[in-house]
Amino acid sequence: MRQTDFSYTVAKFGGTSVADYQAMQRCADIVLADPAVRLVVVSASSGVTNLLVELAKGQLTEAERLDHLAQIARIQYQILDQLQRPAQLAADIDDLLVQMDKLSKQRLGGLANGAISDALLALGECCSSALFAELLRQRNEQSLCFDARRVMRTDNHFGKAEPDLTALKQLLEQHLQPLLQANRVVTQGFIGADSEGNTTTLGRGGSDFSAALMAEALQAEVLAVWTDVDGIYSCDPRLVTTARPIPELSFDEAAEMATFGAKVLHPATILPAVRCGSAVFVGKSRAPEQGGTWIRKEVATSPGFRALSLRKQQTLLTVHSLNMLHARGFLAELFAILAKHRISVDLITTSEVSVALTIDDTGSSGSGASLITPELKQELATMCRVEVTEQLALVAVIGNQLATTAGIAKQVFEVLEPFNVRMICQGASPHNLCFLVDAQEAEPVVQQLHRTLLDD
Ligand code: ADP
Ligand code: ASP
Ligand code: MG
């Protein structure tokens, strides 16, 4: 049973969709065309988070730091100027730019500091949400900008904080939901706050995840993700020119695609939708009339081969130990150490005395290799010999009944004949067949597979 008698659509607009004033106007057209859209979640304007990430590293020269700040100010002022610089908004944006200056100065030459970094990264979304709420008001809409940190309670793992779903639901019902009747509420994706009020972020691309969690907390009927492509394609269209948008995907298929590298959705986006049963739509804010992809529990077709995903910068960890031979508990011990170091394992294959696994680096800015710290290596060395291989790419073939249909492996591996396949995982899920290849071979592999398995 839904708790509300009104069915909400939560609309999320990504960075390119709110890149400038004209792009924001197109988002406003989409919002105003649908009375069900009461909550709007925005990313930072395109390019801003990348600049903030550089500032947060604290390794720029003073001239570079000032140049980065000037680039961000230019992006925000272009929008502010076209909004005719309302006094309060201009003061708010200037205040956010001053905070960027201060925090980036604090980061200069300093040791890594997650709290300062996240406070800095969050400012991009703070700017775009304030600007977009004003733009809606100028289109005669009752609208306000709501600070997501009031509801998006997380733990304090800066850079990749984990939301507390119970707190989010309770805070959202208390502080945000009552505003939705009278206002179109604009809030920030990507950002949250821990229980002490420190700003946190959910990892790169996290605005999709924020929107999905808010849609779940609101029990929204639809989560609409507006981006720069007209749907989820059979492969990243930047990689395969013949890739085509898929009109309808099941939750399972979409979750596999997001998990295995289809950047169009943050990997964690689908789970909240599955839990609350809302449909997810992915469309292009520049051309909403082109339609997009609907992701639902039940779909009309379930083809064997649906799509391909590619995840670069993969790190393979191979551990060898003779103690594994006929032993009990070796894997449990290995996984306990990895869990203690907050490493989430992705693919895994085992032999009698070795285990090979890839590391899930979802949302982190670096590759999995940066998660393998000297402390982790030291601890693993007490029980096994460890080998780390970088420069790999993970290719996922996504579809249905892949593990139970005769001939699937043959079709895939015939294409792979000229390439060196480093590791293969099949059988755990009916929806994927994954393997690792050398990074430089990844694109030809994916292009060749698409030609054979998915081109008409
Ligand atoms: P936003 O800023 O709106 O969140 P992103 O850049 O995060 O947008 O995601 C959109 C991009 O995802 C597309 O431009 C496209 O290059 C990439 N992408 C990767 N895989 C796919 C896919 N299977 N279908 C569509 N886009 C994909
Ligand atoms: N602005 C953040 C990023 O660029 C979050 C997002 O866009 O989803 O990673
Ligand atoms: Mg994104």
204, 209, 265, 266: residue to mutate for ligand 2 pocket, most atoms within 8 A of CB: 204
The answer to whether the CB of 220 falls within 8 A of the CB of 212 is no
Task: Using pLDDT thresholds of 50, 70 and 90, give the confidence band for residue 2.
Answer: very low
Contact 10, 41 (CB under 8 A): yes
Asked if residue 99 has pLDDT above 90, the reply is yes
- Judged against a pLDDT cut of 50, whether residue 1 lies above it is answered with no
Q: What is the pLDDT of residue 52?
A: 98
In angstroms, the CA 219 to CA 449 distance is 39
Q: Among positive and negative, which fits the CA dihedral 13, 17, 18, 24?
A: negative
**Does the Cβ of 319 fall within 6 Å of ligand 2?**
no
The ligand minimizing its distance to the Cα of 43 is 2
| Structural tokens at position 54 | 């550089």
pLDDT digits (tens, 9 = 90+) for 191-240: 999 999 999 999 999 999 999 999 999 999 999 999 999 999 999 999 99
Task: Please give the pLDDT value at position 3.
Answer: 45
- From 27, 42, 43, 46, the mutation candidate for ligand 2 (largest count of ligand atoms within 8 A of CB) is 43
Residue-wise pLDDT tens digits, 272-298: 999 999 999 999 999 999 999 999 999
Please report the pLDDT score of residue 72 as a whole number: 98
Query: Measuring from each residue's beta carbon to the nearest atom of ligand 1, which residues come in under 6 Å?
Result: 14-17, 43, 205, 227-229, 232-233, 235-238, 257, 262-264
The answer to whether the CB of 43 is under 6 A from ligand 2 is yes
Over residues 148-171, mean pLDDT: 97
Mean per-residue pLDDT, 305-319: 94
User: Read out DSSP for 227-250?
Assistant: ESSSS-BSS-TTT-TT--B-SEEE
- Judged against a pLDDT cut of 90, whether residue 359 lies above it is answered with no
Residue 345 scores a pLDDT above 50: yes
The answer to whether the CB of 111 falls within 8 A of the CB of 153 is no
pLDDT digits (tens, 9 = 90+) for 13-34: 999 999 999 999 999 999 999 9
Write the burial class of residue 226 (CB in 10 Å: 0-12 exposed, 13-18 middle, 19+ buried): buried
Range 313-340 burial, b when 16+ CB lie within 10 A, else e: bbbbbbbebeebeeeeebeebbeebbee
> Residue 296 gets which letter from DSSP?
E
Question: Quick one: pLDDT at residue 5?
Answer: 58
Please work out whether the CB of residue 44 comes within 6 Å of at least one atom of ligand 2: yes
Q: How confident is the model at residue 344 (pLDDT cuts 50, 70, 90)?
A: confident
Q: Measured from the CB, is residue 13 less than 6 Å from ligand 2?
A: no
Burial class, 75, CB count within 10 angstroms (exposed 0-12 / middle 13-18 / buried 19+):
buried
Q: Whats the size of the chain, residue-wise?
A: 456
Percent of the chain residues past pLDDT 90, beyond the cut:
84
93 has pLDDT over 70:
yes
Q: Is the pLDDT of residue 363 over 90?
A: no
Mean pLDDT across 170-180: 98
Give residue 367's pLDDT. Answer: 58
pLDDT per residue as tens digits for the range 52-68: 999 999 999 999 999 99
pLDDT at 330: 83
Domains along the sequence of the chain with CATH: 9-300 (3.40.1160.10), 306-453 (3.30.2130.10)
Indicate yes or no: pTM above 0.85. yes
Q: Which residue has the higher pLDDT, 341 or 171?
A: 171
Residue 109 tokens, joined? 């030459």
**CA of residue 161 relative to chain centroid, distance:** 13
The DSSP bridge pattern shows strands 37-42 and 9-13 to be: parallel
Range of lowest pLDDT (277-291, 368-382, 421-435): 368-382
Residues 387-391 have a mean pLDDT of 91
Binding site listing for ATP: 12-15, 227-228, 233, 238, 263-264
